[in-house]
Chains A and B, each alone.
Chain A
C-alpha cells in the first residue's frame, strides 16, 4: 500500500468571506463553519476563535485536536466516521494543512479534558502550543446525556477538519513524501538483511468515554488485526476518548503517529518496517488474555525480529502493555516499550501499575505527576470553571488572578505514551 502525503505549510489562520488557502494562510468563513457544527441538533451554540503560538491565551477544556486533511486521490478522509469505508484508506494522495489544527472546546464531559497554553511554561510541554489553532467552542443542549455529548463534540471536530481540509485539495503542497509498505512476502524480500520490525499499536478501548474508532468500528469490539501504516495517515483511526489529558492520543497524533513516522525514517537503513499490529485495551481479563495471545501470534506469523509497543492511558492498560510484552518476547521477538510514568508528586513511587521480567527495554515519555505553575493568561478560550476538578488539578489549586498549580497531567498530550515528545524521565 502506497500513499503520497503532501504538506501545505500554514503559518496563520484568518477569518474571511470564504474558506481558502493562499500564501500559507488559511482563510476561514466563520458562518459556514458554525452552520456546519450546528447541523447537529444536540449542539445549541458554536463560536470560533483563533489561538496563535506566543499568544497569552489558554484553551480549556480541550476535547480533541485534529489536523485538516483531504483525500486528493483514492478513498475518503476519516473512513467510517465522515468518509465512506471503501475504497480503504492509506492509498493514493492526501494533502495536509501542516501547522494548523482544529481544537474542540466545551464544558467537560468527564474530568479528562485538558489545557493548552499558547505561551508560558506549560507551552514547552504541549505540541499544540506551536500550531495555529482554530478553536471550535461548542455549547451542548441542556441535559444532554454525556455519551451523546461526547459524540456530538467528536463529530463536530472531524467535520470542521474535513471541511477545512478541502481548502487544500487544489493547492500545490510544499513537500510531497511517499510512504509504502508492501504485502508481507514482498516486504520481507525487499531488505532481506535487515531485521524485520513491527509496531504493536494499543488503542484505548476501556469504554465508557474511553473509546477509539478504526474505520468507524469501536476499538473494543475488534480482535487484533494487521494495519498498513499509511491507513492511519488518512484518518482510519479517530480518537473518541476522554482519557487523562497528558496521555490523550488526539486525532492529530493518530495522523502523526511518531512510531510510524520514525520507523519509516529507519526503513531500509537499519530496520525493515513490516507494518502495524493493531490491538486494544479492554477491561475484561478474557479480552486482555485473548488479545495479547493474538498480538504475539501475529508477531510470530509476520516473522518479526523486534516490535515497539505503545499504550494510551495509564493504570489498567499497563496490564495489557505487560501481557503483550511478555507474550511477544516469549515468541522470541525482541520488545521495546514506550510509555510514560506516574510515580507520584514526589517521584518516589512505582512508575507503572504492572511490570514483567521481559520488560528490559523501555523509552520513557516523562512523568505526569510533576507539578507546574500556570501563570494567568490575558485570554481564556472556553472556561476555567473546571480546572480544580480536571485531572491534574486539585481543590484550591486555582489562584484569584487566574493562575494555578497543577500536575503536568492536565496539559493535553504532555506525556503522551507513544514517544511523540522529547520529554523523558530518569532516576535521581
Chain B
C-alpha cells in the first residue's frame, strides 16, 4: 500500500532557524521532518510519510498575507498530500493566526483535509475555529506530548476518510457547527429533566448556549428626501415569473437583482413570489404588495423623493441562514452605496 503523505507547516522558531530576529523569514520548502514534525512522523507510524516541511516567518506571513498564502499553496500543491498539518502554535498569537489562515486556504483551494492545534487563548482559535479543526493544547510547547496523540488520531482519520467525532471525543476547539444526532431520550423528556435540575438550583447543561447577535444600529434620518435616491430590497421572494436564478423557497443561498426600468407597477404576468414562508396568493395576484412600485412611481412623479433605483434586490427570508443573510447584505449594500450612491433603502420583509 502506498503511504499517506502529509505536508507540515511550521514557523521559523520551531524550524530552529531563529526567534524574533528571523520572523521575516520567507516561505521555504524542505523535504524532511523538522522540529515537532519528527515526533509527528514517529507517532504516525509507517503508513505515513512526511513529504515536506514548509517554513515561514511569522512576521513575513502576517505582513504579506496574500502573497505568502499564494506561495505556500503552490508549494503544498506540488506534493499532493493526503493531509495538511500546521503547528501546533500553542499560545503564539501570530503563529496561530498563520496556521489558521493557511489551513483554511489549503482546504478551500486545494480540497485537502487540514488540522492544526493551539491554546484556547490564541487569537487564531477564535478567528478560525469555525473553519478548521484546531486541536486543544496547553499554553506552551511543554504540552506537545499530550497534544500529539489527538493530532495523530485526527490525521489518521482524515487520511482514511473516517468520520471525525465531536470536540469532546477528539479534543478540539468546538467549531460551533450544529450537527444532528439521535439522543437516547426524546426532547420533551430531556427538557423536563433539565427543568427539575434548574428548579433545584443544580447544574444543568443546555443543548444550545445562546449566541450573541449582531445588532445593526438604524441609519440616521435622510435630510433631504426631495432629492434622495431610493432603492427597494426585499426578503419577500418576489422574482420574475419563471424564477430565472432559481432562488430557493426556503434557506436561500442567493439573491437576485431585477430591473424595474420603464415600469409603473409590478404586474402578475411579469413577477411572482417563490417565498415558502407565507401565503403567496395575494402577492401573486399583486406583487406591488411586496415591491410597492406602483406607489413609489407615483411619489417619484409627484416629487416626494428624488429618484427610484431602476432595479430591486430580492431573496427569500424564510429559513435563510444568518451567515447567508449577512453575506447578501454586504453585497447588496456595496452595490447600492458604491455603484448607485443611494440615500435610502426600503427593506420590505414579509
Contacts and interface: CB of A to CB of B under 8 A. Distances in A.
Given A363-B190, A428-B177, A407 B210 contact: no
Interface string A342-377: 111111111110111101111111111110000000
A262 B248 contact: no
A348 B323 contact: yes
Interface in B186-230: 186-192, 194-196, 198-200, 204, 206-208, 210-213
B176 A348 contact: yes
A419 B199 contact: no
B149 interface: no
Given A336-B195, A420-B188, A341 B249 contact: no
Given A315-B277, A315-B318, A409-B251, A422 B199 contact: no
A46 B88 CA distance: 66
A426 B181 contact: yes
A88 B100 CA distance: 64
Contacts of B181: 423-426
Contacts of A368: 319
Contact of A262 (B177, B192, B198, B318): B192
B183 A423 contact: yes
A45 B114 CA distance: 58
Interface centre among A195, A315, A347, A427 (most CB of B within 10 A): A427
Contact of B206 (A259, A362, A422): A362
B210 A355 contact: yes
Contacts of A112: 276
A110 interface: yes
Interface string A245-282: 00000000000001101110110001100000000000
A428 B191 contact: no
A428 B174 contact: yes
A261 B174 CA distance: 35
A313 B181 CA distance: 21
Nearest to A346: B177
Nearest to B278: A208
B267 interface: no
A394 interface: yes
Contacts of A271: 192, 195-196
A47 interface: no
A366 B246 CA distance: 27
Contacts of A346: 177, 321, 323
B276 A258 contact: no
A420 B187 contact: yes
Contacts of B130: 348
A231 B12 CA distance: 72
B302 interface: no
A346 B248 CA distance: 16
B177 A423 contact: no
B195 A306 contact: yes
Contacts of B190: 363, 419, 424
Interface centre among B177, B278, B319 (most CB of A within 10 A): B319
A419 B186 contact: yes
B251 A111 contact: no
Contact of A363 (B166, B175, B187, B248): B187
Interface centre among A124, A336, A337, A355 (most CB of B within 10 A): A336
Given A111-B250, A391-B250, A209 B279 contact: yes
Interface residues of A, number: 84
A261 B188 contact: yes
Contacts of B199: 195, 197, 305-306, 334
A422 B183 contact: yes
Interface centre among B130, B188, B212, B278 (most CB of A within 10 A): B188
Interface residues of B, number: 57
Given A425-B181, A427-B178, A361 B195 contact: yes
B171 interface: no
A110 B211 contact: no
A262 B189 contact: yes
A242 to B, nearest CB: 8
B321 A343 contact: yes
Interface string B257-286: 000000000000000001011111100000
Interface string B61-100: 0000000000000000000000000000000000000000
A409 B188 contact: no
Contact of A394 (B248, B321, B323): B248
B90 to A, nearest CB: 23
A371 B190 CA distance: 25
A285 B165 CA distance: 43
Contacts of B175: 348, 427-428
Contacts of A407: 250-251
Nearest to B175: A428
B207 A425 contact: yes
B318 A308 contact: no
Contacts of A361: 191, 194-195, 198, 204, 206
A128 interface: no
A147 B282 CA distance: 11
Contacts of B198: 306, 334, 336, 360-361
B180 A424 contact: yes
30 contacts: A197-B195, A208-B278, A259-B188, A262-B192, A271-B192, A306-B198, A314-B319, A315-B317, A334-B195, A337-B191, A343-B177, A345-B253, A351-B208, A363-B207, A364-B207, A366-B180, A370-B180, A389-B276, A391-B276, A394-B246, A395-B248, A419-B189, A420-B188, A421-B187, A422-B183, A423-B187, A424-B180, A425-B207, A427-B174, A427-B178
Given A343-B321, A425-B208, 4 more contacts: A343-B177, A351-B208, A360-B198, A424-B183
For the complex of A and B, the 4 pairs showing the least CB-CB separation, nearest first, are A344-B321, A419-B187, A419-B188, A208-B279
Interface of A: 110-112, 124, 145-147, 195, 197, 206-210, 244, 258-259, 261-263, 265-266, 270-271, 305-308, 314-315, 334, 336-338, 341-352, 354-357, 359-370, 389-396, 407-409, 418-428
